[in-house]
Amino acid sequence: MIESELIFGLKNSDRQALSVIYDKYYQDLYFYLLKFYSQEDLVQNAIHDMFIDLWNSRKSIGEIKSLKAYLLVSSRRKLFKLIKDIQLNSDQNFSYEDELTDIPFQYSHEDFLIEKEIDDNRRIKILEAINQLPSRQKEAVYLRYYEKLSVEEISLVQGINYQSVLNNLQRAYEVLRANPLIVNFLKAVLTALIVH
């Protein structure tokens, strides 16, 4: 089923469409949210709540340019809200006026296939180097090269304009390219590819 049919089905209360959407995007949403918060049960709840909301508001949903981008944004909002609620309950000094929009995007080493030849110590350093990039840049890279979103879709997910997304990707790329650790790592990977 193509995306527009899924959206149309959803708006017309077709549970089958909801089910297909669920199967199609669940894992993408899951791993994306894990980058902001590594607690899996909260991630599951966020996705669950997001789908419940999606179903309940199906009749009033406006135009959706990209279903995947829409779901990524909605589930991220849900997750941030859940995190905010938890912080409210645990920390009485936490000011709830604070817009919790700045939970950083963090990679874990499960996110990368790093050759076995590279020892743990270097592996951690590589991950640190990548994680030192600003959150927005890391997220853009992830959405671009892992989720295969277009630049337009990334701008929808991040709520920034097209050019800013390009700039973020470009900056991330330049920083990593200047990092000897990454470059050496890439050399190692490429060599490994040739050897085998």
Partner 1 sequence: MPPSVIYNMKKSRSIFGDKQGGPEIWNSIKFAKRKLPEELIASQKNRLMEGILDDKKSTPIIPIQPRKTIWIWYAAASIVLLMTVGSFLLLKENNFETSYGQIATVHLPDGTSVTLNGNSSISYSPISWRFFNNRNVSLTGEAFFDVAKKEVDGKRIKFQVLTRNLQVEVLGTRFNVIDREGNESVVLEEGKVQLMIPDVQIPLQMVPGDYVGYDASKKRMLQMVVLTEEYTSWKDKYILLDNKTLGELAQIITTVYGKKVVFQNDEDKKIPLEGKVPSDEIRILIAALRLATKLEISLENDVVTVSNSSKTITI
Site residues for partner 1 per CB under 8 A:
5, 8, 12-15, 18-19, 22-23, 26-27, 30-31, 44, 47-48, 51-52, 55-56, 81, 85, 88-89, 96, 110-114, 130, 141-142, 144-146, 148, 150-151, 166, 169-170, 173, 176-177, 182-183, 185-187, 189-191, 193-194
Q: Which residue has the tokens 């190692």?
A: 188
Q: Nearer to partner 1 by C-beta: 104 or 184?
A: 184
Long-range contacts of 107-111 (CB under 8 A, 24+ apart): 107/35, 107/131, 107/138, 107/142, 108/34, 108/35, 108/38, 111/31, 111/35, 111/142, 111/146
Which amino acid belongs to residue 160?
A: I
CB of 134 to partner 1, least distance (A): 16
How many Å apart are CA 104 and CA 87, to the nearest integer? 16
Residue 196 Cβ, how far from partner 1 at the closest point, in Å? Answer: 12
Cβ distance to partner 1 smaller for residue 161 or 170:
170
Nearer to partner 1, 121 or 194 (CB): 194
Is the torsion defined by CA of 188, 194, 195, 196 positive or negative?
Answer: positive
Instruction: Give, in order, the Cα–Cα distances in Å from 176 to each of 71, 85, 132, 156, 195.
Output: 29, 36, 10, 25, 25
Shortest distance in whole angstroms from residue 130 CB to partner 1: 7
Number of residues that make up the chain: 196
Q: Which is nearer to partner 1, 132 or 191 (CB)?
A: 191
Q: CA nearest 151: which of 170, 178, 130? A: 170
Nearest to partner 1 of 55, 104 (CB atom): 55
- Amino acid type, 75: S
Task: Give least dist CB 62 to partner 1, A.
Answer: 15
d(CA 196, CA 193): 6
Residue 19 CB, shortest distance to partner 1, in Å, is 7
Task: Write down the least CB distance from residue 143 to partner 1, Å.
Answer: 11
- Considering the complex, state which of residue 76 and residue 138 has its C-beta at the smaller distance from partner 1: 138
